[in-house]
Amino acid sequence: MKDFVDIFSGLKTSENYNPCNTTNFDSNLSLTLGKEWTTFTSAYNLDFSSVEGLTAYTAKYNEANDAVALTSVKKVAAHTGLILKGEAVKTYTLPILASDEAGLEAVTDNQLVDCVDAVWSSSRDKDYFLSNGKFVNSKYAGWALPGKSFLYIEGGRTNKSESPLRVYVDNTATAINGITNNPVVKDEAYYNLQGVKVQRPQHGVFIHNGKKVVLK
């Protein structure tokens, strides 16, 4: 390990500055929206406050109204499930923030599940996906695509209705039409218990259609 330490120490440009140990950097993320409204998750801390025409929201189920309320956020920590509103097919440049950035919001009441990696969805009465401007129940188990997010209602919906959930922004009912983002796809493949897809499953325990199966 000493050799590696010596190499990094040699990169110091002064006694007070080492480029390998700094939180000051200039980096951006380019993001192109496929639709006006879409779900999103990033592996980076992002700053939406200075990006014109693009708004990021967190979401929470409102039991009293049986609807989903959206709250706009500015500086967002990595692995935060979001809903974005912007111009379709337009590319936005988002500043990436350091972990100790002042004002980085710690979202505590967000019910959007982050999907930096693909996430297996099997909670059919609790998982809701943005589709055609409303949140709809997942009809079957499957993988939520990486880079997206979905709504998880821990206690389930109040009235157990199967109708789509309405969406509110700033306490006002809003129409967010044109959304065709339902990231759950039916998957007939077999996966091992580590989540790795198995091409020719033979003997053992596997995950198939969201359930454990034993092949003998």
Taking the alpha carbons at both ends of the chain, their separation in whole angstroms is 47
Residue 30: inside a domain, yes or no?
A: yes
Query: Would residue 8 count as lying in a domain?
Result: no
Regions of the chain short of the pLDDT cut 70: 1-26, 105-106, 170-188, 193-196, 209-211
What's the structural domain count of the chain?
2
pLDDT of residue 152: 92
How high is the pLDDT of residue 77? 92
The answer to whether residues 56 and 161 belong to one domain is yes
* Residue 181 resides in a domain: no
pTM for this entry: 0.66
Same domain, 63 and 111: yes
* 158-179 residue pLDDT tens: 777 778 888 888 654 444 443 3
Q: Show the domain range for 116.
A: 25-173
Rounded Cα gap, residues 215 and 206, in angstroms: 8
The partner residues of 40 in beta bridges, in order of sequence, read 82
